[in-house]
């Protein structure tokens, strides 16, 4: 009796996992967008801000936002 319960549980677990795997949408992994690295002036601005901030996260964030406004004006979806 105990063996049949274990077999029933294993079968139910296999069906559940199979259903979950079958319902998942398969899509290729999207790569991280690194297009901003080609904007030399923007990268230079970030390096400058990083040097001024000296590890102060709030100062770096203010500087990063300034660089965003300067080199990516009017871009929707960017966190200024």
Would 67 be classed as within a structural domain?
yes
Would 13 be classed as within a structural domain?
no
Would 1 be classed as within a structural domain?
no
| Predicted confidence (pLDDT) per residue in 13-67, tens digit | 665 655 555 555 655 556 677 888 888 999 999 999 999 999 899 999 999 999 9
Would 59 be classed as within a structural domain?
yes
Would 15 be classed as within a structural domain?
no
Q: Is the pLDDT of residue 73 over 80?
A: no
Secondary structure class of 21 (helix, strand, coil): helix
Would 26 be classed as within a structural domain?
no
Q: Is the pLDDT of residue 7 over 70?
A: no
- Its domain, for residue 73, covers 35-80
Q: How many residues make up the chain in this entry?
A: 80
Write down the pTM of the prediction. Answer: 0.53
Per the structure, how many domains does the chain have? 1
Q: From CA 6, how far away is CA 39, in angstroms rounded?
A: 60
């Amino acid at each position: 009796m105990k063996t049949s319960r274990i077999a029933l549980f294993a079968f139910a677990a296999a069906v559940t996992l199979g259903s979950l795997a079958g319902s998942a949408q398969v899509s290729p992994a999207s790569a991280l967008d690194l297009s901003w690295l080609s904007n030399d002036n923007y990268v230079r601005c970030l390096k400058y801000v990083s040097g001024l901030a000296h590890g102060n996260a709030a100062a770096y964030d203010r500087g990063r936002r300034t660089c965003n406004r300067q080199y990516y004006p009017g871009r929707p979806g960017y966190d200024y």
